[in-house]
Structure 1
Amino acid sequence: MNVATPAVKPHYVILDGLRGLAAIIVVLFHIFGVYPDSYQIFHHGYLAVDFFFMLSGFVIGYAYDDRWGTLKTGNFFIRRLVRLQPMVVVGSLLGALFFYSGECSLFPLIAGTPVWKMLLIMVVGCTLLPIRPSMDIRGWSEMYPLNGSAWSLLFEYVANVLYALFIRKFSKTTLFILAFVSAAALVHHGVTAVNGTISGGASLTLSQVRIGLIRLLYPFLAGLLLYRVVRIRQIKYAFLWSGILLIAALAFPAIGNENHLWMNGLYDALTIIIVFPLIVYLGAAGTLQNKTGLKVCKFFADISYPVYIIHFPFIYAYMAFVVNNKPSFSASLPVAALLFICSIVIAYACLKLYDEPVRKWLNKKFN
């Protein structure tokens, strides 16, 4: 008996929730990153980006691997653009709105940047085309000086292009070999990184693009391989255990002193190579029957992408507030709490009032 494949597959609810949890941790990581390391509560919060790449590989495989008999490459690209691009525009617009509020010694180029140039960078940012360091208007040589988070979206698009053109056709053996080589490159980068972390990829320079690709390839390939190879078994309390493991991995203190920076880089690499696949497996293996748990996961899932892509303009302004006013840590906590709450509220408002209606209209127009 043949059973028709549903047009829309059910979501992995727990994986959606874990994505939202990781996005919230990123916001907290950036807020506390304004202060000395002793105040940081998520010392490895930057690894959330690598976790996103792994989730992407798993979910893209689940959503599209069995559709290529009828799905055309161009339609796949349109689907991904419709899903991701509308919020990229919002992030760039918010970056422009808050740009001059970030004026401080940390961002030396803001004061001398004319409005026309900022607006030009805003328009370019809406397309997600990266800019060269010579076009920087902030002073950090970012690809997207109005919205620092957008760099990982560029690499997400790279992964989507590679998947549609090549990776989807690879056998499991080929995927395993490529994932193994990519894991070796990740370890090498981790133990040789001058700052003792695998972080990087936000600038359009050869070295930073190389780091971005290293951070992208293993997680994406491993996520896809995990979907194709591993048989998922039901596990009780999967959301609880996977959530605890994710929080623990990202909150783990930095290790190694200035003479042993390689230790922290090795921790980064092994977390991505070993711990993140385990978390994704746990998330995929669980179901939620509890209504409260389902609501929490859905809320986390709803805000995951919006809060990630729009929070950084607020972080820039918060950095300037701290640098210019020099408040004590305790005195600045109310402002930090307000920033955190506003990021979530604004992200949810953007989702419901803009992103979902725009995507619905675009889907009707192009499908």
Structure 2
Amino acid sequence: MKKQLNSLQLYRGIASILVVLHHANIILDRELKQDGLFNVFHFGWMGVDFFFVLSGFIIFYIHQADLSQSSQFKSFVRKRCLRVYPFYWILLAVKILGSLAIERDGSFDGVNLWQFIQVVLLVPQAGTNLTPFIGVAWTLTYEIFFYAIFSLLILCKPQIYLLPLAVWIVGIVLNLVNVLPIGGSVLLEFIFNTHNLEFVFGCLAAYIVSTHRYEYKKMWIYLALAMLVGAIINTGYRQFDVAGLSPVIAYGIPCTILIVGSVQVENQTVLKLPSSIIYLGNASYSIYLTHGLFMNTIAKVYLKISEKFAPALLDSQIVMPLVATAIVGMSIALGCIIHDRVEKPLLKILNNKPATAV
């Protein structure tokens, strides 16, 4: 059995917080007409790239022995589905009921039954307004797709899957350099989306640390951190590339190198982290899915209270950073509470054993 890697828990926590801070820029600007965080964390969307690489690493690292072992297919699919869907469905139901009962803002206008089914099943789609749903769920569609690909690798023999797998990866690379003739096909764009390459990077990282040992392991970490700093510096406000470079390259590759270096180091030494850091990594899924809902709600409540009792606070350049920090902190804390009170008990019931987040 693979040992738990504390460095990965650290990175899962960091990735979730980065996404929270990125969305804080957007949500607070929309609801309160001020950012409050001075757009410092506009690059926080790179947490999604980090998550994808981490996911590829974790799945391959844990399940590489299951490849071509068809007897493990059912177990893998069941475990992955239980990990993603039930908790997501609960939050989705809460979000939809909240939108219908409280906001009544016409958010569901134009959303038909088939689009709703696609949202529930995390099927890729185009043109659906995600406002009444969970906005970050678009990333889960890629997770589910990656799990489906990996499950096929478990079910089939190498002589069956190696060629299609190679064609798929080559197709993604060709799409990355804008030479794949996809046209306007939503399905092809999803299948060969460059984000899928980050899962491949994660699998490659897991293969490297499982089969090779390198000297100067910490140099991998220093190199990755230097590359990430360079990418952050060159990421413009509200831009989703890095000086014209795809985030898959600018962030995906450094994150891959960082994971390889960190795991190589941790395989040789015991990495002791505070229990709070490990906990934050375990709670990352709950934080990731709930922070938008909590942040929107808290910001709206603050806006109504301030407008009624202290309207001057809404224009204060001194108060707003404090308010923004408090809203972010409360959103993260509430996400942790949901992890303890909903996600963990749910996993325990579904698996009929103590819940573990992987």
TM-score for both structures, normalised by structure 1: 0.70
Rounded Cα–Cα distance in structure 1 between residues aligned with 2:74 and 2:249: 36
Contact residue 155 and residue 213 of structure 1 kept, 8 A: no
Work out the CA distance in 1 between the residues paired with 2:174 and 2:63.
28
Q: Is residue 157 from structure 1 mapped to residue 144 from structure 2 by the alignment? A: yes
SS of 1:147's partner is: coil
Q: CA deviation at 1:264?
A: 2.6
Pairing partner for 1:266 from 245, 254, 267: 245
Unaligned ranges ≥5, structure 2: 354-358
Question: Within 5 Å, which residues of 2 pair with 1:166-185?
Answer: 166=153, 179=169, 181-185=171-175
- The answer for the alignment partner of 2:327 in structure 1 is 339
Q: Which residue of 2 aligns with 1:106?
A: none
Q: Give the CA deviation at 1:307.
A: 0.4
Gaps of 5+ in 1: 1-5, 104-109, 190-204
Count the aligned residue pairs.
326
Q: Would you say 1:312 and 2:302 are equivalent positions?
A: no
Q: 1:364 to 1:322 in 2, by over 3 A?
A: closer
Q: In structure 1, the residue corresponding to 2:42 is in which secondary structure?
A: coil
What is the aligned counterpart of 1:214 among 190, 193, 196? 193
CA contact (8 A) 1:48 1:250 kept: no
Worse overlay, 346-355 or 317-326: 317-326
SS across alignment from 1:182: helix
Pair 1:41–1:290, CA change in 2 (3 A)? same
Q: What is aligned with 1:195? A: none
Asked if structure 1 preserves the Cα contact closer than 8 Å seen for 2:295 and 2:328, the reply is no
Q: Report the CA distance shift for 1:300/1:232 in structure 2 as closer, same or farther (over 3 A).
A: farther
Report the alpha carbon displacement of residue 41 of structure 1 after superposing the two structures with TM.
1.6
Deviation at 1:228, TM superposition (A): 1.9
Deviates more, 1:166-175 or 1:228-237: 166-175
Equivalent residues in 2 for 1:102-141, closer than 5 Å: 111-112=105-106, 127-128=121-122, 133=127, 141=129
Is 1:41 aligned to 2:40, yes or no?
Answer: yes
Letter in 2 for 1:303: A
The corresponding residue for 1:67 is 66
Aligned-pair distance for 1:251? Answer: 3.9
Q: Counterpart of 2:356?
A: none
Which of 163, 176, 190 matches 1:186? 176
> Which of 133, 140, 146 is the matching residue for 2:133?
146
**Alpha carbons of structure 1 residues 98 and 29: separation in structure 2 relative to 1, 3 Å:** farther
Change (3 A) 1:357 1:278: same
Check conservation: 2:235, 2:243, Cα contact below 8 A.
yes
Within the candidate set 286, 291, 298, 2:278 is matched to 298
Counterpart of 1:22 (choices 15, 23, 26) is 15
Structure 1 residue 212 displacement after superposition: 7.7
1:229 Cα offset (Å): 3.8
Cα offsets for 1:276-296 (capped at 9, x unmatched): 2212212322326464x2424
**Structure 1 residue 152: deviation in Å?**
0.8
Q: Distance in 2 between matches of 1:354 and 1:56?
A: 22
Supply the distance in 1 between the matched residues of 2:332 and 2:202 (Cα, whole angstroms). 27
CA contact (8 A) 1:43 1:251 kept: no
Query: 2:12 touches 2:284 (CA, 8 Å); kept in 1?
Result: yes
Q: CA deviation at 1:217?
A: 1.7
| More deviation, 324-333/347-356 | 324-333
Q: Counterpart of 1:77? A: 77
Aligned residue for 1:188, secondary structure, equals coil
Distance 1:220 1:177 in 2: 16
Aligned-pair CA distance for 1:255: 4.7
Q: 1:256 to 1:153 in 2, by over 3 A?
A: closer
Q: Please name the residue that 1:201 is paired with.
A: none
Q: Is the CA contact (8 Å cut-off) linking 1:42 and 1:252 kept in structure 2?
A: no
Any residues of structure 2 matched to 1:277-288 within 5 Å, and which?
A: 277-287=256-266
Alignment CA distance shift 1:72-1:341 (3 Å)? same
Cα RMSD after superposing both structures: 4.5
Q: Secondary structure at the match of 2:4?
A: coil
**Structure 2: distance between partners of 1:101 and 1:235:** 58
> Deviation string for 1:167-202 (max 9, x for gaps)?
88558986677545524423439xxxxxxxxxxxxx
Describe the shift of the 1:263–1:364 C-alpha distance in structure 2 as closer, same or farther (beyond 3 A).
closer
Structure 1 residue 268: Cα displacement: 2.2
TM-score, length of structure 2 as denominator length: 0.72
Query: Is the Cα contact below 8 Å between 1:232 and 1:281 reproduced in 2?
Result: no
Q: Distance in 2 between matches of 1:147 and 1:256?
A: 24
CA distance in structure 1 between the aligned counterparts of 2:246 and 2:122, rounded to whole angstroms: 31
